[in-house]
Amino acid sequence: MDTSVPGRPETKLQARILTRLRDAGPRSRIELVDHFEVSRTTMGAELGRLTAMGLIAEIGPAASRGGRRSTVIDIAGDIRFVAIAVDTGAVSVAITDGRLRIVAFERTECDVRQGPEPVLELAAERARGLLAKAGVDRPLGVGVGVPCPVDFRRGITVATPVMPGWDGYPVRDLLGRWFECPVVLDNDVNVMALGEQHAGAARTVENFLFVKIGAGVGCGIVAKGELYRGMDGCAGDIGHIQVADSDAVCACGNSGCLEATFGGEALARDALEAVRSGRSPMLGELLERDGTLNAAAVAEAVAAGDATSLQLVRTGGRRVGEVLSGLVSFFNPSLIVLGGGLAVLGHVLLAEIRSVIYRRSLPLATKNLPIVLSDVGEHAAVIGAARLVSDEAYGVPR
Amino acid sequence: MDTSVPGRPETKLQARILTRLRDAGPRSRIELVDHFEVSRTTMGAELGRLTAMGLIAEIGPAASRGGRRSTVIDIAGDIRFVAIAVDTGAVSVAITDGRLRIVAFERTECDVRQGPEPVLELAAERARGLLAKAGVDRPLGVGVGVPCPVDFRRGITVATPVMPGWDGYPVRDLLGRWFECPVVLDNDVNVMALGEQHAGAARTVENFLFVKIGAGVGCGIVAKGELYRGMDGCAGDIGHIQVADSDAVCACGNSGCLEATFGGEALARDALEAVRSGRSPMLGELLERDGTLNAAAVAEAVAAGDATSLQLVRTGGRRVGEVLSGLVSFFNPSLIVLGGGLAVLGHVLLAEIRSVIYRRSLPLATKNLPIVLSDVGEHAAVIGAARLVSDEAYGVPR
């Protein structure tokens, strides 16, 4: 494989050509001329420069439309991105091609609370292994998703009580030195939303919400086809929206926050409490068997007919639904995708969330609103992380 | 004045040149070349076509930057837009120039419940009068804001219980026939948000919320510099978000909706109730004096030290603040602008809203978040309506 490093796009049009090829697949020269409303000369010059940079390649003749034959252009076949998705309990690493198709994937258990160095070293080691196996010297970029707030412009992680040691850590610069290429860092919810947009149910919609119910609750927002981060990059922080009937104290210092009442942490707490108070002998058996109680255990108990577990899931779903129904009125999305660890609770949770949203929101906003579980699953975060850094590598203006 | 009708832009670049001149003011040819990263030849050709269409004009030489002198370009001085802002109790009509500066303005009291024909006929009559006085044969476009939901793509008004006769009314097509030019219709909250973006506190920010507290409560959303309407055009419908401690029945059929607990209608209802129950002799005097109670009367009572009125405003402000604090967590805006009839309650209302938002939202989302009253006031809607139709006339892709 050629070891020369591709160049960086210089114009907005070059960036738009590259992202068009990435998202829509190979296109003929004529189709690109028509799509971007530029002259053949301008398009020819831009494609020439992108070819010289090693970013695109001709892959064959186009079907004839009469007149001179056009050629089909694709992203260069040897381009590779590294995608790293850090979760609270594991690190996923993928290698993708220039159109973000996964060519290698590896998931390793790993506790994020160890702090950034061991986690990032593990991720980098796995990435180097996958790159070496694929014969790639240097990726075109590294995209990273982490389960905590991020200062997107500076590429650093931001304080969170549950991840000691990560506050202000220069993830972007460190990985940039290690891999000698552009690195882009964002929070896990945003990269998962991008993954859903690129490869999931959200592929065909312009405005959607990706709701992650994991240890906490967060939301990725795509408006008019683009990720919306808000002023400080903390848009979608819905875990701290207040729910109506709760005084549960939250790690943020307020009470009644959504994620203090439902989410992986809250569900584990409530399941333990149900065992201690004797309300669920079945959860008690599962606790004895596994030594701990998590969402999967609650899902198992629900499937086995445990009424207390069913009630925990329904109450949680109702609270998520109440918050989301307000957001549906505000944002009028075309789609809501649910993902994260608590997606294991499946259709029981989904049905409760749906019923609250359909009941509480105005008919105009919900008449065409699908609310679905993610079908990209564990790949959403790495595909989204690759997409994020591909924007950078393809010269998309921030 | 030249009576020929200007042409319609044909390319995206032409649209971008026109909106750049509209929003940033006159620019030299060289500045436009630099800004849009195109060749002098391309820019020269586009400016030539826009000049031939009568949409732009040279207004003088640019300050020298060394080398050949550049010329300064502006939107053609004879371009005029008509802007119509229908409110529940009045119709405002303005004529603006091509940069949306108001050259004539007239506000006429008028009850929207008469139905669309008399209201629109009155608006058109006023507009024709102002156009004739200015010697304008035909405007380049007519922008319209109405206080009800709108099907933006079809240019029709949508059912609302408080505006009988407006359901499905073809406002756009009717006015298009009357004025023989493009017409764009949107709801009042969206056009007010656009007015704030063009001429108000929101001029310099990319992401903000305009919250109108009038008879009801609604919100205009600007994300990344553009109005966000959502899938069905009903984004920002925050009047029907549920508040925590209310079971007030709403016109929509649900209970506990924000606008069932606060807004012009709800405040008038609660003020009357305070009189009937004897809790506010001062409101009783104002009712006797005016024959009715509205927000202005409550403001007057607050200013005079009436504790019951103060409590009504504070309770209302708290409820608005609770809903907005959730939206701040979700949307992470750079600015919130408050407008509409209840802005007459001024800083008492604003202080309560601010205090709830600053207390309830996370520090990261509020550390730089100004929450202000509109300083564009009654002009916001007409400036925004003009801006809306100028996008259409200047060829901005929808």
Q: Which residues of A touch B219 (CB under 8 A)?
A: 330
Average pLDDT, chain B: 93
CA distance linking residue B266 with residue B44, whole number of Å: 58
Statement to judge: residues A104 and A251 lie in one domain: no
Interchain proximity A240–B330, CB inside 8 Å: no
CA distance linking residue A242 with residue A260, whole number of Å: 9
Q: Is the pLDDT of residue A308 over 60?
A: yes
| Rounded mean pLDDT, B158-184 | 91
Q: Is the pLDDT of residue B278 over 50?
A: yes
| Rounded mean pLDDT, B183-206 | 96
| Rounded mean pLDDT, B49-77 | 89
Statement to judge: residues B213 and B233 lie in one domain: yes
Please tell me which residue of chain A has the smallest CA distance to B246. Answer: A244
- Alpha-carbon gap: B110 to the closest alpha carbon of chain A (Å): 29
Q: Which of B75, B100, B130 is the last residue of a domain?
A: B75
| Rounded mean pLDDT, A49-62 | 94
pLDDT digits (tens, 9 = 90+) for B69-80: 789 999 999 999
B247 touches chain A (CB under 8 A): no
Closest partner residue to B242 among A149, A252, A322, by Cβ? A322
CA distance linking residue B179 with residue B279, whole number of Å: 53
A16 touches chain B (CB under 8 A): no
Q: Which residues of B touch A238 (CB under 8 A)?
A: 326, 329-330
pLDDT grade, residue A269 (50/70/90)?
Answer: very high
Closest to B357 in 3D by CA, of B371, B338, B341: B371
CA distance linking residue B212 with residue A377, whole number of Å: 40
Q: Which of A75, A90, A111 is the last residue of a domain?
A: A75
Interchain proximity B230–A333, CB inside 8 Å: yes
pLDDT of residue B136: 92
- Alpha-carbon gap: B258 to the closest alpha carbon of chain A (Å): 11
Q: Is the pLDDT of residue B3 over 60?
A: no
Q: Which residues pair with residue B371 across a beta bridge? A: B336
Lowest model confidence (mean pLDDT) among A358-367, B29-38, B129-138, B211-220: A358-367
Please tell me which residue of chain A has the smallest CA distance to B160. Answer: A364
| Count of other CB atoms within 10 angstroms of residue A210 | 33
Q: Is the pLDDT of residue A116 over 80?
A: yes
Percent of chain A with pLDDT over 90: 79
| Rounded mean pLDDT, A235-253 | 89
In a domain, B208, yes or no: yes
Q: Is the pLDDT of residue A123 over 90?
A: yes
Query: Hunting for tokens 């290429």 — which residue is that?
Result: A181
Residues 6+ apart with CB under 8 A from B111: B88, B89
Residues 6+ apart with CB under 8 A from A290: A297
In a domain, B22, yes or no: yes
- Alpha-carbon gap: B92 to the closest alpha carbon of chain A (Å): 27
- Strands B56-61, B208-213: pairing is unpaired
Please tell me which residue of chain A has the smallest CA distance to B206. Answer: A231
Please tell me which residue of chain A has the smallest CA distance to B239. Answer: A329
A63 touches chain B (CB under 8 A): no
Closest to B201 in 3D by CA, of B381, B369, B377, B374: B374
Percentages (nearest 5) of helix, strand, coil residues in chain A: 45, 20, 35
Statement to judge: residues B285 and B237 lie in one domain: yes
Q: Is the pLDDT of residue A2 over 50?
A: no
Statement to judge: residues A223 and A338 lie in one domain: yes
Please tell me which residue of chain B has the smallest CA distance to A366. Answer: B232
CA distance linking residue A149 with residue A161, whole number of Å: 11
Residues 6+ apart with CB under 8 A from A124: A175, A178, A179
Lowest model confidence (mean pLDDT) among A267-276, B57-66, B292-301: B57-66
**Tokens representing residue A259 in the block:** 């994620």
- Alpha-carbon gap: B38 to the closest alpha carbon of chain A (Å): 10
Statement to judge: residues B179 and B309 lie in one domain: no
**Tokens representing residue A211 in the block:** 């709701």
Statement to judge: residues B234 and B364 lie in one domain: yes
pLDDT of residue B253: 84
CATH number of the domain bearing residue B42: 1.10.10.10
Mutation target to probe the A interface, by most A beta carbons within 10 A, among B332, B358, B366, B398 is: B332
Domain span at residue B71?
Answer: 12-75
CA distance linking residue A273 with residue B123, whole number of Å: 65
| Count of other CB atoms within 10 angstroms of residue A64 | 9
Q: Which of residues 94 through 123 in chain A touch B, CB cutoff 8 A?
A: none
Q: Which of B75, B96, B124 is the last residue of a domain?
A: B75
B90 touches chain A (CB under 8 A): no
pLDDT of residue B305: 94
pLDDT of residue B187: 94
What is the count of residue pairs from A and B with beta carbons less than 8 Å apart?
A: 144
Q: Is the pLDDT of residue B8 over 60?
A: yes
Please tell me which residue of chain B has the smallest CA distance to A233. Answer: B332
Please state the length of chain A.
398
Alpha helix ranges (H) inside chain B: 12-24, 29-36, 40-52, 116-134, 171-179, 188-199, 258-261, 264-276, 281-290, 295-303, 307-331, 346-360, 363-366, 380-393
pLDDT grade, residue B379 (50/70/90)?
Answer: very high
In a domain, A1, yes or no: no
| Rounded mean pLDDT, B289-304 | 94
The answer to whether A304 touches A289, Cβ cutoff 8 Å, is no
Helices B264-276 & B307-331, crossing angle to 10 degrees?
Answer: 150
Q: Is the pLDDT of residue B168 over 50?
A: yes
Closest partner residue to A364 among B232, B254, B325, by Cβ? B232
pLDDT digits (tens, 9 = 90+) for B319-375: 999 999 999 999 999 999 999 988 889 999 999 999 999 998 888 788 889 999 999
- 3-state SS class at B265: helix
| Rounded mean pLDDT, B163-190 | 94
pLDDT of residue B322: 95
Percent of chain B with pLDDT over 70: 98
Statement to judge: residues B112 and B163 lie in one domain: yes
Between the CA of residue A89 and those of A150, A265, A345, B227, what are the distances in Å?
A: 19, 13, 18, 40
Closest partner residue to A330 among B207, B233, B238, by Cβ? B238
Closest partner residue to B234 among A205, A244, A365, by Cβ? A365
Burial profile A94-132: b = 16 or more Cβ within 10 angstroms, e = fewer: bbbbbbbeeebeeeeebebeeebeebbebbbebbeebbe
Interchain proximity A362–B237, CB inside 8 Å: yes
Query: Hunting for tokens 């075309």 — which residue is that?
Result: A334
Q: Which residues of B touch A227 (CB under 8 A)?
A: none
- 3-state SS class at B79: coil
**Tokens representing residue A312 in the block:** 């925990």
In a domain, A263, yes or no: yes
Interchain proximity A329–B207, CB inside 8 Å: no
- Alpha-carbon gap: B186 to the closest alpha carbon of chain A (Å): 16
In a domain, B1, yes or no: no
pLDDT of residue A220: 97
Please report which helix (H) or strand (E) contains residue B372, including its range: strand B371-373
pLDDT of residue B45: 96
Please tell me which residue of chain A has the smallest CA distance to B14. Answer: A37
Phi, psi (deg, nearest 5) at residue A95: -110, 130
Residues 6+ apart with CB under 8 A from B276: none
Q: Which residues of B touch A234 (CB under 8 A)?
A: 332, 362, 364-365
CA distance linking residue B377 with residue B381, whole number of Å: 8
In a domain, A5, yes or no: no
A11 touches chain B (CB under 8 A): yes
In a domain, A370, yes or no: yes
The DSSP code sequence of A17-59 is: HHHHHHHH--EEHHHHHHHHT--HHHHHHHHHHHHHTTSEEEE
pLDDT of residue A143: 98
Q: Is the pLDDT of residue A298 over 60?
A: yes
Statement to judge: residues B49 and B107 lie in one domain: no
pLDDT grade, residue B2 (50/70/90)?
Answer: very low
In a domain, B3, yes or no: no
CATH number of the domain bearing residue A236: 3.30.420.40
A238 touches chain B (CB under 8 A): yes
Statement to judge: residues B118 and B251 lie in one domain: no
Residues 6+ apart with CB under 8 A from A267: A294, A295, A298, A312, A316, A342
CA distance linking residue B29 with residue B43, whole number of Å: 8
Q: Which residues pair with residue A75 across a beta bridge? A: A56
pLDDT grade, residue B215 (50/70/90)?
Answer: confident
Between the CA of residue B338 and those of A22, B212, B322, what are the distances in Å?
A: 42, 6, 15
Q: Which residues of A touch B241 (CB under 8 A)?
A: 325-326, 329-330
pLDDT of residue A4: 56
A53 touches chain B (CB under 8 A): no
pLDDT grade, residue A1 (50/70/90)?
Answer: very low
pLDDT of residue A215: 85
Q: Which of residues 129 through 168 in chain B touch A, CB cutoff 8 A?
A: 149, 158
How many distinct structural domains can be found in chain B?
3
| Rounded mean pLDDT, B124-131 | 97
pLDDT digits (tens, 9 = 90+) for A335-349: 999 999 888 899 999
pLDDT of residue B1: 39
Statement to judge: residues A214 and A356 lie in one domain: yes
Please tell me which residue of chain A has the smallest CA distance to B13. Answer: A37
CA distance linking residue B337 with residue B87, whole number of Å: 19
CA distance linking residue A246 with residue B21, whole number of Å: 52
pLDDT of residue B97: 97
Sign of the four-CA dihedral B112, B114, B119, B125:
negative
The DSSP code sequence of A108-147 is: EE--GGG-HHHHHHHHHHHHHHHHHHHT-SS-SEEEEEES
Interchain proximity B237–A333, CB inside 8 Å: no
pLDDT of residue A254: 86
Lowest model confidence (mean pLDDT) among A364-378, B59-73, B76-90: B59-73
Statement to judge: residues A346 and A277 lie in one domain: yes
| Rounded mean pLDDT, A94-109 | 97
| Rounded mean pLDDT, B40-53 | 95
Statement to judge: residues B211 and B181 lie in one domain: no
pLDDT of residue A216: 87
Interchain proximity B330–A331, CB inside 8 Å: yes
A187 touches chain B (CB under 8 A): no
Helices B29-36 & B12-24, crossing angle to 10 degrees?
Answer: 120
- 3-state SS class at B168: coil
ipTM value: 0.89
Please report which helix (H) or strand (E) contains residue B84, including its range: strand B80-86
Phi-psi sector, B173: left (phi>0), alpha (psi -120 to 50), beta: alpha
Please report which helix (H) or strand (E) contains residue A61, including its range: strand A56-61
Lowest model confidence (mean pLDDT) among A76-85, A244-253, B1-10: B1-10
Please tell me which residue of chain A has the smallest CA distance to B35. Answer: A12
pLDDT grade, residue A366 (50/70/90)?
Answer: confident
Whole-number CA gyration radius for chain B: 23
Q: Is the pLDDT of residue B5 over 70?
A: no
CA distance linking residue A328 with residue A335, whole number of Å: 10
Give the residue with greater pLDDT, A1 vs B184: B184
